[in-house]
Structure 1
Amino acid sequence: MKITVVGLGVIGGSFVKALKGKGYEVYGIDTNQQTLDMAKEEGCIIEGYLDGKDIIPETDLTIICLYPSLVLDFIKNNQFKPGSIVTDAVGIKSYFLREALSIIPDDVEYISIHPMAGREKKGYQYASKQVFENANFIIVYHDDNKKSTIDFVQEFSKQLGFRSVKIMSPEAHDEIISFTSQLPHCLAVSLMNSDDQKYETGKYIGDSFRDLTRIANINEDLWDELFMNNKQYLLASIERFEEQLDILKNAIRDNDDETLKSAFRKSTKRREHL
């Protein structure tokens, strides 16, 4: 099988690194020639291309790892092999999946995926196959997907090291991702920016602050797109969080030990179950 990964950043780069030695013909597309050269030198791709006009018509599986706004442009500007599979790995689905399906040829199957893995920094140099190992993987289906294609993608993900695979609709995906991915990024940014910088904060932090703010080192262009194009679900998640934060704030203000301890017990029980 001939596989082409489009966009060799952290996720795309991790795909080609995880595919190394798996028996596939792997190619890469990126706008940065140096990135392509690096991936080829490491033996992760057979050849690299600055665009898809030569390799995409020959590709059996195309994995598009671009910003959401660029996925549709790539689909519009390339000719895919009849009978091939095209997928994207971006973090939100609903807002562009319908349009993607309207422009993809009838003889090409489009199925969306979301590897729940990544790093706070961007670029091929931070990619690693280890980010996929034992991570969660989501397949986002639509009515025209064949069961055989869903089964193939599920098995393919396990070859790359993913542990848990969930299959869901684009709406369900975007709702849960607003809570498990986007809300934590909101919290990390807010926590980092709430520092009044009265002290040299870095000299007083422990693991809790370090862990909570790791993802505050954020790719502003990507996450702006993700937040704005999933605002309905994200705002609902933020509001639920605000309600819980208010419970703690009010309990502290009112010297309400029982409410505070009850919240602690609830979170402890839920974390242990998780």
Structure 2
Amino acid sequence: MNIAIVGLGVIGGSFAKGLQAAGYTNVYGIDVSESTLKIAVDQGMIKKGFIEANDILQDMDVIMISLYPNQIAPFVEQHKNRLKDGAVLTDVTGVKTTIIEKVSNILPSTVDFVFAHPMRGSEKQGIIGADHKRFIGANALITPIATNKEASLQLIEKLYKEIGFDQVTRVSPEKHDEQIAYVSQLMHVLSVAVVNSQQASEETLTYAGNSFQELTRIADINAELWSELFLNNRTGLLKSIEHFEIELDALKHTLEENDDERLKAIFRQATNKRREWY
């Protein structure tokens, strides 16, 4: 099976490493950077690298598009006439509904696109941060659409599990975006807001402990990527922010009213829910 990875950044590079480690020897890379391709070849991540996608796409059975959200549909549009009949395309982006809509309008009927989301990102950027071990024990989501063939879905699930993912779950695109807004994007909102707070100063780290470090870790953010993720899921993220504001206002109100009992009740509710999760 011939596999092409389009975009050898930290995630694309990690998949390349994982596929090679799983025994897939015909893994090829497509990237605009010659230096990135050289690193990938030299480190054995890929068999061969290409600047021009059209030089190889017609021979690929699986094409993993590891590009920013707004680049996915234009890539398909540009290269759709070069795709092999029966090829399976997939992505790794963290938003689905808007991307599916854009791609579905231009996707040839001769190929299948399985929309997927590995739930193990990285604050690092570029191929030097690639590490397939990040995927071991991780979760992934697949968002089937009406035109997907069962065999295509199972193929992508198989690849994910072979490179170390522990659980691959099928969910609707709408459910995906709703939940990702809460469990991922809202977390980045909070982290960025805390770091950008007017209270931050040169002395901040003198007083900071592990909780501050853990909360602010993901504020080391790829601005180009995350702005696209936020805006492509702005309805879901706005809803998550509004729900959070309700809870924040409830906490604020207990302080304004010096309401010891209500504050303890909020804490106990959070403790119980957290223990149910883990």
TM-score bucket (shorter structure): over 0.9
Which secondary structure does the structure 2 equivalent of 1:63 belong to? strand
2: distance between equivalents of 1:261 and 1:81? Answer: 61
Deviations 1:197-255 (A, max 9, x none): 44511222111000000010111111111111111110000000011111111112211
| Residue 225 (structure 2) aligns with | 222
2: distance between equivalents of 1:259 and 1:219? Answer: 39
2: distance between equivalents of 1:99 and 1:199? Answer: 45
Residue 5 of structure 1 pairs with residue 8 of structure 2: no
2: distance between equivalents of 1:15 and 1:174? Answer: 23
Deviations 1:33-90 (A, max 9, x none): 1111111111110001112111111000000010111111111111111111001111
2: distance between equivalents of 1:198 and 1:72? Answer: 42
What letter is aligned with 2:112? E
Residue 182 of structure 1 pairs with residue 185 of structure 2: yes
Which secondary structure does the structure 2 equivalent of 1:77 belong to? helix
Residue 262 of structure 1 pairs with residue 265 of structure 2: yes
TM-fit CA distance, 1:121:
2.2
Q: How does 1:1-274 map to 2 (within 5 A)?
A: 1-24=1-24, 25-78=26-79, 79-274=82-277
TM-fit CA distance, 1:92:
0.6
TM-score (norm 1): 0.97
Q: Which moved more, 1:190-199 or 1:109-118?
A: 190-199
2: distance between equivalents of 1:198 and 1:36? Answer: 41
Runs of 4 or more consecutive aligned structure 1 residues displaced over 3 Å after TM superposition? none
Note the residue ranges of structure 2 that are not aligned, 5 or more in a row.
none
TM-fit CA distance, 1:8:
0.7
Note the residue ranges of structure 1 that are not aligned, 5 or more in a row.
none
TM-fit CA distance, 1:98:
2.0
Deviations 1:82-110 (A, max 9, x none): 11100111111111212212212111011
Q: Percent identity between the aligned chains?
A: 43
Which secondary structure does the structure 2 equivalent of 1:143 belong to? coil
1: distance between equivalents of 2:201 and 2:208? Answer: 14
Which secondary structure does the structure 2 equivalent of 1:5 belong to? strand
* 8 Å Cα contact 2:21/2:163 also seen in 1: no
What letter is aligned with 2:3? I
1: distance between equivalents of 2:267 and 2:102? Answer: 45
> Once superposed, what is the RMSD of the aligned Cα atoms?
1.2
2: distance between equivalents of 1:197 and 1:226? Answer: 26
TM-score (norm 2): 0.95
1: distance between equivalents of 2:275 and 2:27? Answer: 40
